[in-house]
Amino acid sequence: MAQGLESIRQGPDAAALEAIQANALSQLAAIRAGRQALEAHETRVLAALGHLALHRAGRSSSERSTMEMRAVAAEIGAQSRVSDRTVERQIGDAMTLVDTWPVLLDAFAQGRIGRGHVRAIAEAGGVLASTDVTPEQRAAFEQQMVALAVTTTPARVAKVARREADTHLSEPLVVRHRAARERRRVTVEDVDDGMSWIGALVPSVLAHGIDARLRAGARAKSKDDPRSIQQWQADAFCELLLAGVGAPTIERTTGGAEIEHAGLLSTITPIVQVTVPITALTGTSDAPGSLDGAQPVDAETARILAGVAATWQRLLTDPIRGTVVEVDTYSPNEAQRRLLRARDQHCRFPGCSAKARDDDVDHTIAWEDSGTTSVGNLAHLCRRHHTLKHATAWTVSQPTPGVLHWRSPLGHDYVDRPPPTGPTFVEMHPDPGGLRAPDLPF
């Protein structure tokens, strides 16, 4: 290449330019082929780890398999500082490719087709895995799509693959829609400037208020209700918007009985935790507050919420240290829970960002093993990692309050520290004087 560049400087020479271009193109092809071969190798290793986990679980319950899979994913995730959910998804995708689409994976490994082609074909072919399509029919589909993919773009392959997959299904849309309906849910996505998406772009405090209300409602759903928490929330979301009444009704249980939930949601008020710097309340600064320790809330909104709203919990933070200095207290337990939620903000498994919820507080040393109910022995774990701790060889200790030491089944250690809660300020005078709040009661 260096020689080629030299000849450009020396003047136009069509043959030399063409040679440079041809050389660059073949280098690109070689790089792509090498990278894809490595990626395919990674896919096979991930799938092997997945199969290892299933093998370890043996013929026992599917719950056991889930736990083994999760333990393996957590081991990889902690090592590479990626959330174990992400790793578990990667393992799942890898196993699908290796088990269901071997021809596709080979073509990718050989550099004959790209990642976009693989994704397009595997996605469109996904419906063939869940129906009464025979392995031979699936293999024929795979062969046909790979043959097409070597000639055209992923977008065109996707279109043909979807159409082709459809022809193998007796009731394609019905089947797909039924499966898709099962996945209904409500999600909140925080974006810039204190705003969030919840199907509509609205201020974050409102989006999280809606989310909190739906979650609270779902926790109170009847045990006979066959819907998942997420499905229930999605139904309630639609009902409230369409009919403006309580909670969703459900048609019929498996036993034939009708369950009514009308009005349930209207009795629930959302609880949203907003952290407010004291300086913002006193009007001496316009420092933003924050929602669940992460999403910024402008000082104006924070002042209004801190002053009037009963359903938004107020946490006042020390302007120097950024730590929580005062909480609204009802009872010691409630105060502890609020402090924990403010301290942890999210699940304390390394890399997990599931929001801290009151009902997910875990005793680091179990109550049965003389663990105390104190903030130094409590930490938030989401349901997923709570089960991981109990059902696998992962262990945790809390040598100093709030600092969690995790040890993986392979003996690797990971320290998870609580995130800073509020904004901190560099202060010229170390003593905030009249702003100093009393020490915490625990």
Burial class of residue 41 (count of CB atoms within 10 Å of its CB; 0-12, 13-18, 19+) = exposed
Site map for Zn ion, 10-39, x if CB under 5 A? Answer: ------------------------------
Residue 70 tokens, joined: 């999760």
Rounded least distance, CB 82 to Zn ion, Å? 13
Q: Residues 75, 86: contact at Cβ < 8 Å?
A: no
Rounded least distance, CB 157 to Zn ion, Å? 37
The length of the chain is 442
Considering the complex, state which of residue 77 and residue 288 has its C-beta at the smaller distance from Zn ion. Answer: 77
Rounded least distance, CB 395 to Zn ion, Å? 16
Burial class of residue 432 (count of CB atoms within 10 Å of its CB; 0-12, 13-18, 19+) = middle
Rounded least distance, CB 234 to Zn ion, Å? 22
Contact call for residue 382 and Zn ion (CB under 5 A): yes
Amino acid identity for residue 327 in this structure: V
Rounded least distance, CB 380 to Zn ion, Å? 8
Question: 336-363: buried (b, 16+ CB within 10 Å) or exposed (e) per residue?
Answer: bbbbbbbbbbbbbbbbbebbbbeebbbb
Rounded least distance, CB 213 to Zn ion, Å? 23
Sign, CA dihedral 314-320-322-324, equals negative
Measured CA to CA, the distance from residue 49 to residue 54 in angstroms comes to: 9
Rounded least distance, CB 32 to Zn ion, Å? 37
The stretch among 178-186, 255-263, 357-365, 380-388 that binds Zn ion (CB under 5 A) is 380-388
Beta bridge partners of 413: 407
Measured CA to CA, the distance from residue 376 to residue 371 in angstroms comes to: 10
The residue behind tokens 């929580």 is: 324
Considering the complex, state which of residue 74 and residue 94 has its C-beta at the smaller distance from Zn ion. Answer: 74
Query: Is beta strand 195-197 parallel, antiparallel or unpaired with respect to 189-190?
Result: antiparallel
Considering the complex, state which of residue 402 and residue 432 has its C-beta at the smaller distance from Zn ion. Answer: 402
Considering the complex, state which of residue 53 and residue 388 has its C-beta at the smaller distance from Zn ion. Answer: 388
Site map for Zn ion, 247-266, x if CB under 5 A? Answer: --------------------
Residue 280 tokens, joined: 């913002």
Rounded least distance, CB 84 to Zn ion, Å? 8
The stretch among 140-148, 246-254, 353-361, 408-416 that binds Zn ion (CB under 5 A) is 353-361
Q: Is residue 306 within a helix (H) or strand (E), and if so which, with residue range?
A: helix 299-308
Among the listed residues 121, 264, 325, 354, the single contact to Zn ion using CB under 5 A: 354
Rounded least distance, CB 351 to Zn ion, Å? 8
Contact call for residue 404 and Zn ion (CB under 5 A): no
Amino acid identity for residue 148 in this structure: L
Considering the complex, state which of residue 205 and residue 352 has its C-beta at the smaller distance from Zn ion. Answer: 352
Q: How far is CA 431 from the centre of its chain?
A: 41
The stretch among 118-126, 145-153, 200-208, 379-387 that binds Zn ion (CB under 5 A) is 379-387
Measured CA to CA, the distance from residue 96 to residue 26 in angstroms comes to: 32
Site map for Zn ion, 321-350, x if CB under 5 A? Answer: --------------------------x-x-
Rounded least distance, CB 379 to Zn ion, Å? 11
Q: Residues 213, 199: contact at Cβ < 8 Å?
A: no
CA 281, 282, 284 angle in degrees (round to 5)?
A: 110
Among the listed residues 221, 337, 341, 385, the single contact to Zn ion using CB under 5 A: 385
Among the listed residues 40, 157, 280, 352, the single contact to Zn ion using CB under 5 A: 352
Number of residues in contact with Zn ion under rule CB under 5 A: 6
Considering the complex, state which of residue 141 and residue 349 has its C-beta at the smaller distance from Zn ion. Answer: 349
The residue behind tokens 């397009």 is: 120
Q: Is residue 10 within a helix (H) or strand (E), and if so which, with residue range?
A: none
Considering the complex, state which of residue 77 and residue 217 has its C-beta at the smaller distance from Zn ion. Answer: 77
The stretch among 118-126, 183-191, 302-310, 377-385 that binds Zn ion (CB under 5 A) is 377-385
Residues that bind Zn ion (CB under 5 A): 347, 349, 352, 354, 382, 385
